Structure 1
Amino acid sequence: MVFYFKARPEVGDYTIFMGLDKYENEELIKYGFPEDVWFHVDKMSSAHVYLRLHKGQTMDDISEGLLEDCAQLVKANSIQGNKVNNIDVVYTPWSNLKKTGSMDVGQVGFHNSKTVRTVKVEKRLNEVVNRLNRTKVERKPDLKAEHEAYNLSEKAERKAQLREKKRFAEMERLEKERQAELRSYKNLMVSEKMTSNKQIASTEKSLQELEEDFM
C-alpha cells in the first residue's frame, strides 16, 4: 500500500507519497524515478516520504512551501520525531540512495553525502498536516511495472532525440555544401575574370589579316 498526498495548490501540481511500512519502503527504494526526492527524519525512525518533481527539475526547484509540506509529513509520521521539537529532516535525490545486501529491510545509505540536504523543523504544524491528510489517497500500485514503463518511455524519447539530432546535423551539412557551391559559382562570375565578346574580337586577327599572313 502506498499513500499519496497533494501538495498545497499554490506551489504547483506536486505529489508526495510514502509506503505503508518498511517492506513497502523497500519497493519504493528499488523502483523510484529520477524525479523523486527522498525525505526522512535524521537519526530517528520515520516514514520514507518521497516528492515527485516535474521532469527536468532538481532539488534547487523545491520551493519553501513545498519543502515545508514534505518535512511536516515526515515529522508527523515519525513516532519519536512527532513528539519533539527542533528536529532535522534530511532529503536527497532518489538516485543517491544506496542499498546493500547487508542492510536491514527499509534501511538505506547514500552514494554521496554531499548531495544530502537538511531542513530544520521547529514544531509540528497541524494546519499543514491536516491539509495534507485531507488529500490522502491509498493505492496498491505495481511499482515494478511503473518503473519499467518509465524506462521504456525514456528510451523511446532518447531515440527520438538522437534521430532529430542526426537529422539536424544532416541538414547543416547539406546547407554548408550549398553555401560552398554558391560561393564557388560567384567566384566564376567575377567581372574581372570574365571576357566579353568585344574583348575577344579585339584580340583576334581579322580574316583579311590572316589571309595576308598566309600569303
Structure 2
Amino acid sequence: MVFYFTSSVVDPPALLFMGRDKYENEDLIKYGWPEDVWFHVDKVSSAHVYLRLSEGQTIETIPKVLVEDACQLVKQNSIEGCKMNDVDIVYTMWSNLHKTESMEVGQIGFHSQKAVKKFRVPKKDNTVINRLNKTKVEKEVDFRAERETRDRNERESKKQQFKKLEEAKKLEEQQRKAEAEMRSYSNLMKETNMKSNKDGGSDSDDFM
C-alpha cells in the first residue's frame, strides 16, 4: 500500500508519496523513477517520502514551499522526529540512492554525499499536515509494472522526437537543394542573356 498526497502550494499541484512500511520502501528504492526526490529525517528513523518532479523541473528549482511540505510530511511520519524541534531533513535524487545486499531492510546510502541537500524544520506545522492529510489516498501498486510503463513511454517519446528531428532535417535539406538549384538557374539565365546581346551586336556589324 502506497500513500499518496497532493501538495497544492504549487501550480500544477505536486505529487508526494511514501510506502506503508520498510518493506515497501525497498520496492520504492528499487523501482523509483529518475524524476523522484527522496526525503528522510537525518540520522533518525522515518518514512521515506518521495516528491515526483514535473517535466523540466530539477532538485535545484523545487520551490521552497514545496520542500517544506515534503519535509513536514517526513517529520510527521517519524516516531522520534515528530517529537523533536529543529529537525534536519535530508533529500536527494532517487538516482543518488545506494543500496547494497549487506544493508538492512529500509537502510540506504548515497553514491555522492555532495548531492545530498538538507532542510531544517524548526517545529511541526499542523496546518501543513492537515492540508496534506485531506488529500491522502491509499493504493496498491505494482512498482515494477509502473516503472516499466514509465520507461516504455519515455522510449516512445524519444522515438517520436527523433522522428520529428529527422523529418525537419530532411525538409531543411530539400529547401537547401531547392535554393541551390534556383541560384544555379538564375546564373544560367544571366549568362544566356549576356550571350544573346553580344550576338545581336555582331550581326548588326556584319550587315553594315
Do they fold alike, i.e. is TM over 0.5? yes
**Residue type at the aligned position of 2:131:** R
Which residue pairs with 2:203 in the alignment?
201
Runs of 5+ unmatched residues, structure 2:
none
Q: For residue 125 of structure 1, report the CA deviation from its aligned partner.
A: 0.8
Q: Which residue of structure 2 aligns with residue 140 of structure 1?
A: 140
Which residues in structure 2 correspond to 1:62-77 (within 5 Å)?
Answer: 62-77=62-77
Tell me whether 52-61 or 170-179 shows the greater mean CA deviation: 52-61
Q: What corresponds to 1:47 in structure 2? A: 47
SS, match of residue 5 in structure 2 = strand
Between 1:5-14 and 1:96-105, the stretch displaced more is 5-14
Counterpart contact for 1:11–1:66, Cα < 8 Å: no
For 1:77 and 1:13, the matched residues in 2 are separated by 21
TM-score (norm 2): 0.92
- SS of 1:118's equivalent? strand
8 Å Cα contact 1:38/1:94 also seen in 2: yes
Alignment correspondent of 1:114: 114
Cα RMSD (Å): 1.8
Distance 1:28 1:137 in 2: 17
1:8: Cα distance to partner?
A: 2.8
- Which digits, 9 at most, give the CA deviation of each residue in 1:112-164, with x for residues without a partner? 22221111110111111122112111111111111111111111111111111
Cα distance in 2, alignment partners of residues 180 and 133 from structure 1: 66
Distance, in Å, in 2 between the alignment partners of 1:7 and 1:109 is 27
Match of 1:98 in 2: 98
> In the TM superposition, what is the alpha-carbon distance from 1:185 to its structure 2 partner?
1.4
Deviation at 1:195, TM superposition (A): 2.1
1:158 aligns with 2:158: yes
How far 1:11 sits from its partner (Å)?
4.6
Letter in 2 for 1:201: D
| 2:172 counterpart residue number | 172
Shift of 1:9: 4.7
How many Å separate the matches in 2 of 1:172 and 1:10? 40
Change over 3 Å in CA distance of 1:164–1:11 after alignment to 2: closer
Contact 2:91 2:118 survives alignment (8 Å): yes
> CA separation in 2, counterparts of 1:44 and 1:174?
63
Once the 2 structures are TM-superposed, how far is the Cα of residue 84 of structure 1 from its aligned partner?
Answer: 1.0
Q: Secondary structure of 2:82's match?
A: coil
2-side partners of 1:199 and 1:110: how far apart? 88
Instruction: Measure the CA separation in 2 of the matches of 1:23 and 1:193.
Output: 87
Q: Unpaired segments of 5 or more residues in structure 1?
A: 210-215
Tell me the alpha carbon deviations over residues 96-119 of structure 1, each in whole angstroms, 9 at most, x when there is no partner.
111122221111112222221111
Q: Percent identity?
A: 50
Rg bigger for which structure?
Answer: 1
Contact map agreement 1:11 1:65 (CA 8 A) in 2: no
Contact 2:6 2:15 in 1 (8 A): yes
What residue in structure 2 maps to residue 81 of structure 1?
81
SS in 2 for 1:195: helix
Shift of 1:50: 0.3
Q: Which amino acid aligns with 1:164?
A: K
